[in-house]
Chains A and B, each alone.
Chain A
């Protein structure tokens, strides 16, 4: 059964989520990928103010296709998350509680998630047309010059994700594979 979550993702909600949980997210999240993350990270390093409030925020690693007239957004599936690994710990330290992407994260990110309390969700990669249906509004809030890589504020309804890594460090990429392989042994 899916767990319905209303964003922002507060720390008490973070603590309840476990790797493998299927969730439907409703509320506001922000897009960001390589170029936007680098800019945010550089501002943090320089001790400057960020263009948006990071506390309890959820970032969706995505660079959508251009929207047509009448559409809220174009195709919008997750991009591979490890490219954000260099920047995520600094954002988590500032209070970011949710990240949505696909693929592995490194130890530094997982350490920060455990220390400060954050969740890494997976959305289905390569399903941008399907996922776009859950995005009801999209507007650029920072770095418009980056085009698809600009930070967009998204309003989502029942956006489907799976908890891949929880705030305790449990990892579905390890447990899911293990459970499947063990099920084969049992058959034999």
Chain B
């Protein structure tokens, strides 16, 4: 059994919080730069150029890419042969607390959805644990902005709605969101599972490299179909018109019940942040 101190976890989380908010991942940058090259509408191209300028400034001047430095979503894969010395959840929250303070990141979490008093340190983190084989701990930090989170939706479709129902719901969600989630967006789609698992799949889909495709050819094709349909809507960067409404559509699926076809759409803005480290 490998021993790992909670302090190492806290330090890693702290570093990842700062890193994620200052440096846009390579895959997202590549999507934006590719869109800049292929966008036919002049106004839209201009905005994409400004977006590139923004993340370049953020990286060079160590200033957050976006002022919404997000809810700290933390995905932890814990090898079953690791023993953590100390309280793991406390360590993650301590890492978030320190990272958001030392990185001059915005504290955006309120204590209670109705009372709404800022906790002052961006905790608690939104944590997902996954027990896996081995003796490593993998931490993915994905700060999630709420302009796009607010535009996300879930629907329990009927099996008879089939894939057409899924396509309609995803495209309709993006159309209704329009300019609100800071397009160009990344669209995370969860299909299957239960109500809660489906939403989780949609969030998990946002962690996958934007230029990767679903390993199942049928779903890779569905990702392409959805991206084409979304980019035919004409919403464009910032909603001012243009081709580039979405940078990528990522689908994650799992088995479901004979009576159901749950679909969740988690929208992310062009500042889709995720950074991973294995300890």
Residues of B within 8 A of A102 (CB): 147, 179-180, 182, 238
Known contacts being A76-B67, A80-B180, is A129 close to B61, with CB within 8 Å?
A: yes
User: Which of A55-113 touch B at CB < 8 Å?
Assistant: 62-68, 74-77, 79-80, 82, 102-104
Task: Tell me, rounded to whole Å, the shortest Cβ–Cβ distance linking A110 to chain B.
Answer: 15
Complex Cα distance A13/B100, Å?
41
Q: Which residue of A lies closest to B63 (CB)?
A: A129
B180 touches A74 (CB 8 A): no
Are B54 and A126 neighbours in the complex by a CB distance under 8 Å? yes
Asked whether A103 and B68 contact (CB < 8 A) given A126-B269, A133-B57, A176-B43, the answer is no
A181 at the interface (CB under 8 A from B): yes
Contact A103 B147, beta carbon cutoff 8 Å: yes
Question: What mask results when residues 105 to 141 of chain A are scored 1 for a CB within 8 Å of chain B, else 0?
Answer: 0000000000000000010111111101100000000
> For the complex, is B47 an interface residue (Cβ under 8 Å from A)?
yes
Least Cβ distance of B189 to chain A in Å?
Answer: 21
Contact between B179 and A65 (Cβ–Cβ < 8 Å)? no
A155 and B30 CA atoms in complex are apart in Å by 35
Complex CA distance for A74 and B51, rounded to whole angstroms: 17
Given the known interface contacts A74-B63, A128-B64, the answer about A104 and B53 at a Cβ–Cβ threshold of 8 Å is no
- Besides A148-B106, A177-B240, 15 other A-B contacts (C-beta < 8 A): A74-B67, A75-B66, A77-B66, A79-B67, A103-B181, A122-B179, A122-B238, A122-B240, A124-B54, A124-B238, A127-B54, A129-B66, A130-B53, A130-B54, A132-B63
State whether the Cβ of A179 lies closer than 8 Å to any Cβ in chain B.
yes
In the bound complex, what is the Cα–Cα distance between A130 and B60 (angstroms)?
Answer: 12
Contact A173 B150 (CB under 8 A): no
* Most A-side CB within 10 Å, residue of B150, B236, B240: B240
Contacts A63-B106, A65-B104, A126-B182 given: A74-B47 contact, CB under 8 Å? no
Whether A129 contacts B238 in the complex (CB less than 8 A), given A75-B65, A75-B66, A76-B67, comes out as: no
Q: Contact residue range for chain A?
A: 35 or more
B137 to chain A, nearest CB (A): 29
A162 interface residue, CB < 8 Å from B?
yes
In this complex, the member of B51, B106, B116, B236 whose beta carbon has the largest number of chain A beta carbons within 10 angstroms is B106
B240→A172 contact, CB < 8 A: yes
Taken together as a complex, chains A and B put the C-alpha atoms of A128 and B180 apart, in Å, by 16
Q: 1/0 per position for A34-70, CB-CB distance to B under 8 A?
A: 0100000000000000000000000000111111100
Closest residue of A by beta carbon distance from B103? A65
User: How far is B213's CA from A114's CA once the two chains are assembled, in angstroms?
Assistant: 47
Flag if B236 contacts A125 (CB, 8 Å).
no
Contact B65 A104 (CB under 8 A): no
* B55, B107, B234: the one within 8 Å of A177 (CB): B234
Question: Does the CB pair A129–B54 fall under 8 Å?
Answer: yes
Question: B residues engaging A (CB < 8 A)?
Answer: 41, 43-44, 47, 50-51, 53-55, 57-58, 61, 63-69, 104-108, 116, 118, 120, 145, 147, 150, 178-182, 233-236, 238-243, 269-271
In the bound complex, what is the Cα–Cα distance between A172 and B236 (angstroms)?
A: 12
A131, B97: Cα distance in complex, Å: 26
Chain A neighbourhood of B179, CB < 8 A:
102-104, 122, 173
CA distance A66 to B55 in the complex (A): 18
Cβ-defined contact, A124 with B65, below 8 A: no
Instruction: Name the 5 nearest CB pairs between A and B, nearest first.
Output: A176-B241, A125-B182, A180-B241, A103-B180, A130-B54
A65, B69: Cβ atoms closer than 8 Å: yes
- Minimum distance in angstroms from B145 CB to a CB of chain A: 8
CB <8 Å contact, A177 and B67:
no
Contacts of B180 in A (CB 8 A): 80, 82, 102-104
CB of A61, distance to nearest CB on chain B (Å): 11
- A126, B65: Cβ atoms closer than 8 Å: yes
Partner of B58, one of A75, A104, A162, A181: A75
In Å, the complex CA distance between A181 and B234 comes to: 6
